[in-house]
Amino acid sequence: MTGASGALAGPVVRHLVERHGVRDLLLVSRSGAVPAGLDGLDARVESAACDVADRAALRTLLAGRRVAMAVHAAGVLDDGVVTALDAARLERVLRPKTEGAAHLAELLPEAQLVLFSSAAGVLGGPGQGNYAAANAFLDALARQHAAAGRRAVSVAWGPWALDAGMAADRDRLARGGIEPLPTGAALALLDAALAGPHPAVTALRLARGPATAVPHVLRSLVRTPEAAPAADPGLAGLAPDERRARLSALVRGQAAAVLGYADAGRIESDRSFQELGFDSLSSIEFRNRLGAALGLTLEATLVFDHPTPADLAAHLDERFAGESGATDLPTLFAAFDRLAAALTAAAADDVSRDRTAERVRGLLDQLTPRTATESVTAFASATDDEVFALIDAELGSPLPGLEERSR
């Protein structure tokens, strides 16, 4: 088993011994450390330090050994948004997964190949472009070897519930539609994968909740309550001081939710988001949650451009203050209703009706996008009266003498 210093090694090794009767294990990791929890096993357990991506070193380690099964669980995380991933960060994540698996497959042609992949390779994951690619390779390798008649299976794991100190990470995963797998359930899924006919399977637990919180390809699998209407930030019509207070509370509340805090009071307004514990992934989630709550499209660099909750609340307040002078649609439509009533009550003689119609058409023309060709064609085909009405619409009143001429 490679990656034997990782958190999964102990439970998996014990399960292979107690459930599958394995009696001879070689646990390989870069450090050579023996995982905890293996005391009292009825098996011979040997540990070795080896970089499995180093073909020569791995070949030396395996020389003279008869290996029935190779469990490849080696892996490294180096998450970051795609613009921050350089060649070194890509290699750091790809090398142990891809080269390690390829070397095992080459050097152990008779062994059953069990690859510990990740659901990130199937579903993707925020900030995990490099990790997703590495795991997609494992899934493809298992399919290739199975097609050639070799025993191979790749299990794309969701998260295991092994670390009690990952409350914030578990909350974030649950909001994304995935819950950690209890160890017993995960080991049962491993058994199913080993016994099943498929060379690549995905093993994860879906969180039951709103479909909007689940990756798109999984939404049909999750029971969902009736969709609730979009939240109203309730900022329209507030006095400036009240609006600023409401925005400050919203910013701190969303920040607390992203970081896994039950109390927004733990978010100090004058501390930087970085000091509060934000990284690039939590910053993106925070931006998305805040934008949804406010009904705004917010920039990806939000917490870097406005580094404290107080700065961000002030920035958002400026945006809402700048928009407060705009007429909202209900007010505008109410004005249309009053205009329609006034037009109905207006004088019904032909001249008044024609001039009113021209003014309305002029306003409508201002709201209707036109290409340059359409505008030229429309103007060239206009009658004298239509041209004069257009001038009236643009200037707001007839020019002296045009009233008489139009008659």
pLDDT of residue 372: 44
* DSSP notation for 54-70: -HHHHHHHHTT---SEE
3-state secondary structure of 219: helix
pLDDT of residue 333: 67
pTM for this model (two decimals): 0.58
**Cα separation values, 270 from 88, 266, 267, 375, Å:** 36, 12, 9, 54
CA distance 120 to 142: 16
* Domains of the chain and CATH, by start: 9-221 (3.40.50.720), 240-323 (1.10.1200.10), 331-406 (no CATH)
CA distance 373 to 391: 20
pLDDT of residue 352: 66
pLDDT of residue 21: 94
pLDDT of residue 321: 75
CB 105 within 8 A of CB 115: no
Q: Chunked in runs of 10, what are the mean pLDDT values of the chain (407 residues)?
A: 91 94 95 84 93 96 95 89 86 95 96 95 85 95 95 94 56 71 94 95 80 56 48 66 90 89 87 86 86 85 89 88 56 69 65 70 62 46 56 50 45
pLDDT of residue 357: 73
